[in-house]
Every structure is written in structure tokens, then in C-alpha cells.
Amino acid sequence: MSTPEQWLQTQAELGQRLYLVLDSDGQLDERNALINEREGSQYSNLYIGTPASSLAAVGPYLFQLDTLDHPAIQALLRTPERHWGWLASSAGGDLDQLARHWRARLVTGERPNQALYRFHDNRVLGRALAHLSPEQRSELLGPIASVCYWQDGQWAAAYNPAPGEYAVPPDPAWLAVPSVPETAAGIQIDNARRYLMVEQMEQLAELARQQDADTWIQAQLELARTWGWQAPEQVRFLLAQRLQAPGDALPKSWSPQLDETPQAHFQRVYQQVQFWQGDATV
């Protein structure tokens, strides 16, 4: 088992520069503490300038580090179960190059079926690295020489056999990595929370004052799975509508009818909501 301190010592002996990939969501205090003590050239918001720019306020940041002996970083290292991101090293000191590399790997698919690849999630990164060949690992990590991250209850380190600049392959191997149910469920909750923070911030804040928001979100996602509503627009519709009255029971008319397919069920409920909102006729 590796530790951040052991990994750091190895990187120092190799003369590598240190970096932190940090998920803002849940780590705003640490993120702001690091920003306030750095020049703009020493950090980058990885969502800015991408199709995910509307989520930049809760997007991942890339920080260039001189040491791990900072109160904010030490707080992160003491709580790896928060899945706040990961540490990295590189022979070069070009933060802009690293930012370009990860922005190029952020959005997958073509419109209107684009999705965000959560490379800043240590669980996603660790899962990918465990399944990629050496060549594929280099295509994912690019200029990064080594990473240190929390995976399956312990610290782990991985190395890039050939650091350098790589174009994104037509079919990136890291997008075909199977996900374990626990990881997939955690990512789905994170994505749902981010969507509501952007689109339904006031209602989400009110919900959080009354009950645990993540528990409520998980219940809605379980309902969506039960109904077979797994398309992003179906899940977002359910979240947005239920958030209007989170404590109310579901309308009886929302229950699936006998022999009704998930798609027909969704369309019926969607049209019903549109009708009552005055946006459509049934």
C-alpha cells in the first residue's frame, strides 16, 4: 500500500512537479483556501471554455503545488473517503498544457447525446487505470507521469509508461471500462446533485433545510430505476418535478399502467405535467 508521503518522496527524488486535481463540489473551503494563496497562473478551472462551462462554479480545479504541507491539503488527505480528487506529478511545469489535455477528455459523445467524463473522481480514475493497457494508460494520462489516489479503502499509485502529448482516440478505451454498481450509483447521485444546483438551486437549498438532500436524491433515482426511466432527460424531469413538492406523495396518475412500457409511461406523465402547466394539450 502506498501513502501520499511515500509517493511524494519518490516524485521529489525524480524531480517531478506536483499537481492536485480537486472536485469543487464538497470541497469549496479547501478550494477557496488554495485559490486565495496562489496566482492565477498556478491553478485552472477545468470546466471553463468547455461545453460544461455553466457548471464551472462546482467544477474541478487543477492546482500546481509546491508542497503537501498546507492546511487545506492536509485536511483532504485526512478524509480520502470524501472522494475529492487525486494527486499528480509531471516532469514539466506547464499547467496550461495539463489543463488542455483534460479538457479534451471531458466531454464524450456527440450532440444531443453528450456526457461528462468524471476524470476528476478518484474512483473513476482508479477504475480506468486498473483496466487500461500501458499504451491506453498513456493516452489517458498524457503529460502526467504518476498519480496518487484513494481506491477501495486504501491509497494507490499508478505510473505512466510514456508521458507526453496524445490526441484523444476515436474510441477512448477509458470510456469502455465497466463500472461497479457502488461507483456508478455514487456518480449518478453526484450528477443529479450538480444538475439541481444549476437548474433548481433555490428549491434544492430549501429541501436541504428540511431533510438530507442526498438521501432524497437517492430515493428519486431508485424510483426512476424502478420505472425504467434511465435516459438523462427522464431522470432530470423526475428530479425537477418532485423537487417542486418534495414532501408530497406521488400523484396516483403517475403510477405505471398495466403493460405500459417505460417510454410510454414517461410520455404520458410528461404530457400530463405539460398540460397542467399550460404548455401543452393532452
Q: Please tell me the number of Cα atoms within 13 Å of 199 on its side-chain side.
A: 13
pLDDT tens readout for residues 172-182: 999 988 766 65
Query: Which long-range contacts does 62-65 make (Cβ < 8 Å, 24+ apart)?
Result: 62/19, 62/20, 62/21, 62/22, 62/95, 62/98, 62/99, 62/102, 63/19, 63/20, 63/22, 63/34, 63/38, 64/17, 64/18, 64/19, 64/38, 64/93, 64/95, 65/18, 65/19, 65/20
From first to last of its 282 residues, what are the pLDDT tens digits of the chain? 468 989 999 999 999 999 999 999 889 999 999 999 888 889 999 999 998 888 888 889 999 998 888 999 999 999 999 999 999 999 977 899 999 999 999 988 766 666 789 999 999 999 999 999 999 999 999 999 999 999 988 999 999 999 999 999 999 999 988 766 656 666 777 788 878 877 888 888 888 888 888 889 989 999 999 999 988 889 999 999 999 888 788 888 999 998 889 999 999 999 989 887 765 443
